[in-house]
Amino acid sequence: MKEDVVEISTKGLMPTANGCAVFLGNDEKTFVIYVDPGVGSAISMTLNGVKKERPLTHDLIGHLLLGFDIRLERVVINDVNEGTYFARVILHMQNELGRKILELDARPSDSIVLALQQKRPIYVTRRVLDAVEDMTEILDRVLKQQKEEPPAEEEQ
């Protein structure tokens, strides 16, 4: 049986002591996934359109998919267990031999980067969305604080 899924987007990023908080959600609810600093940086660079001198791991994976004519269809965050999230990456390949859909287990953090880089949708199962704490107010406060903070003066 296929679970109901809801499309979400990346609504914000916030550095933390051990990495980065990624705020995901929709108009209904926002939740947080904590990621390591490297993945947080990759998400930030992708969201901000930063060009990299050399490909990072997520760039390499994207190039491999392109080279093998494999399309990332979507990402589904399908489970959460004691604060640890799980995801599935859905890939599509079609060539002269036929069509193949492949579903792979993946870390949500890596999946988010790939989906953002390839402009593909991110979904969450209804069960997970119902289970997570709504962080909409916290995100609103963080975004408001960021707007109110004066920009850091450049060192001369």
CATH classification of the domain holding 70: 3.10.690.10
Domain count for the chain, please give it.
1
Give the residue numbers spanning the domain of 37.
Answer: 5-148
pLDDT of residue 25: 96
pLDDT tens, N- to C-terminus, the chain (156 residues)? 356 999 999 999 998 999 999 999 999 999 999 999 999 999 999 999 998 888 888 899 999 999 899 999 999 999 999 999 999 999 999 888 889 999 999 999 999 999 999 999 999 999 999 999 999 999 988 888 877 876 665 555
Tell whether 61 is covered by a domain. yes
144: three-class secondary structure by DSSP:
helix
pTM of the full structure: 0.86
Please report the pLDDT score of residue 155 as a whole number. Answer: 52
**Is position 155 within any domain?**
no
Q: Is residue 156 part of a domain?
A: no
Residue 114 near residue 10 (C-beta atoms within 8 A): no
Backbone angles phi, psi at 117, to 5 degrees: -60, -40
Which residues, including other chains, have CB under 8 Å from residue 149's CB and lie 6 or more apart? none
Q: How many residues does the chain have?
A: 156
Domain membership flag for residue 110: yes
Give the amino acid at 130.
Answer: D
Q: Which residues have C-beta within 8 Å of that of residue 123, sequence separation ≥ 6?
A: 5, 6, 7, 8, 74, 75, 76, 77
Is residue 22 a contact partner of residue 43, using CB atoms and an 8 Å limit?
yes
Residue 38 lies in a domain: yes
Question: pLDDT at position 56, please?
Answer: 86
Of 72, 77, 59, whose CA–CA distance to 119 is shortest?
72
